[in-house]
């Protein structure tokens, strides 16, 4: 099968590309390399085609989705702060880009009765659509309260996919990722997660700054577990309405607990505190029972990698020469 992965040179996308290639698929990556890296992709692979282009460019989107059996739309400016600082630019990537790729996939035609065309459109959404949810764990049917342009764009992307899905023009699945972490998450990027930043600084013997009391919590989910769900989405049952799934572990970890786990791996850390940042979500935790149900039916392991195991994988992948990166961080949704 031929698979299209937008954002395929990025953190999650490149892990998905590796998995699809290992399964014997042809893969087309569309990435503008603003944050993705050529080094994240296997060089010279005979079943990999890389298109350097903008997802909001109709010609690039059409070239990437042509003759594709499935489209994984992961490309985005994955930063709440960037969307606040420049909502127009991030809107272009996060919503106009989504609509452009959806339309390109629609034009490729639905795969019915053996006909050529896109069989499945998988959309990467975010737990940020829930905002600062008060009732935890949060299920898919909970009220949506996007608190940033990034979150608003992600939720709007779900609605656009639902439109194409209801019309039978595409068969979609949407995943709301909670806080994804793992190897290749660039700690020097302003879009990186708290885990990659903490590990990088700890490995370099540099201090860590915590905004607030450190009791804020997140549902950290390992990238390998996320990829398991992305791959299995090809076999999810087709339903009349678009199905959306939380991707999380259903386990809350505080920032202080995270620091304690990092110290087990890398030794004592110098930790400082500053005032909490306005707009940071206090607690986030997935109700992933819907995902667990479909995963069980398909024989797929639901997200469950222990945090210490996932952190150890990152440390091993980074090697002994990992250097310093961003000096401070707060907790935001990926």
Q: What are phi and psi of 204, to 5 degrees?
A: -90, 0
Strands 70-73 and 48-52, bridge-based pairing: unpaired
Q: What are phi and psi of 331, to 5 degrees?
A: -100, 120
SS3 state at 70: strand
Q: Are 186 and 123 in contact (CB under 8 A)?
A: no
Q: Can you tell me the distance from the alpha carbon of 282 to that of 241, in angstroms, rounded to the nearest whole number?
A: 32
Q: Which two structure tokens, joined as six digits, stand for 315?
A: 């440390």
Beta bridge partners of 31: 52
| DSSP H or E stretch at residue 28 | strand 26-31
Catalytic residue among 150, 181, 191, 236: 150
Q: How many CB atoms lie within 10 A of CB 237?
A: 9
Determine whether 130 is an active site residue: no
Quote the DSSP letter at residue 94.
Answer: I
Beta bridge partners of 181: 222
Q: Which residues are catalytic?
A: 150
């Amino acid at each position: 099968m031929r698979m299209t992965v937008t954002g395929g040179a990025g953190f999650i996308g490149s892990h998905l590309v590796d998995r699809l290639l290992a399964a014997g698929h042809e893969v087309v990556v569309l990435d503008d390399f603003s944050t993705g890296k050529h080094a994240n992709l296997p060089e010279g692979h005979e079943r990999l085609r890389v298109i350097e282009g903008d997802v909001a460019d109709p010609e690039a989107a059409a070239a990437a989705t042509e003759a594709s059996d499935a489209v994984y739309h992961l490309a985005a400016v994955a930063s709440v702060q960037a969307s606040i600082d420049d909502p127009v630019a991030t809107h272009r990537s996060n919503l106009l880009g989504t609509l452009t790729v959806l339309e390109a996939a629609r034009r490729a035609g639905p795969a019915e009765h053996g006909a050529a065309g896109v069989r499945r459109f998988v959309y990467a959404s975010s737990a940020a659509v829930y905002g600062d949810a008060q009732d935890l764990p949060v299920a898919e049917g909970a009220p949506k309260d996007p608190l940033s342009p990034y979150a608003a764009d992600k939720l709007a992307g779900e609605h656009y996919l639902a439109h194409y899905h209801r019309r039978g023009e595409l068969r979609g699945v949407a995943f709301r990722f909670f806080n994804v972490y793992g190897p290749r998450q660039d700690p020097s990027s302003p879009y990186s997660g708290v885990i990659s930043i903490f590990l990088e600084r700890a490995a370099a013997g540099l201090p860590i700054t915590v905004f607030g009391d450190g009791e804020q919590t997140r549902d950290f989910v390992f990238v390998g577990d996320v990829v398991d769900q992305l791959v299995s989405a090809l076999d999810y049952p087709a339903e009349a309405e678009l199905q959306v799934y939380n991707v999380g572990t259903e386990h809350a970890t505080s920032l202080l607990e995270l620091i304690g786990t990092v110290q087990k791996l890398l030794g004592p850390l110098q930790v400082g505190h500053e005032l909490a940042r306005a707009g940071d979500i206090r607690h986030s935790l997935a109700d992933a029972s819907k995902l667990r149900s479909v995963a069980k039916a398909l024989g797929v392991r639901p997200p469950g990698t222990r945090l210490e195991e996932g952190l150890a994988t990152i440390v091993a992948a980074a090697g002994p020469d990992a250097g310093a990166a961003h000096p401070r961080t707060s907790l935001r949704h990926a």
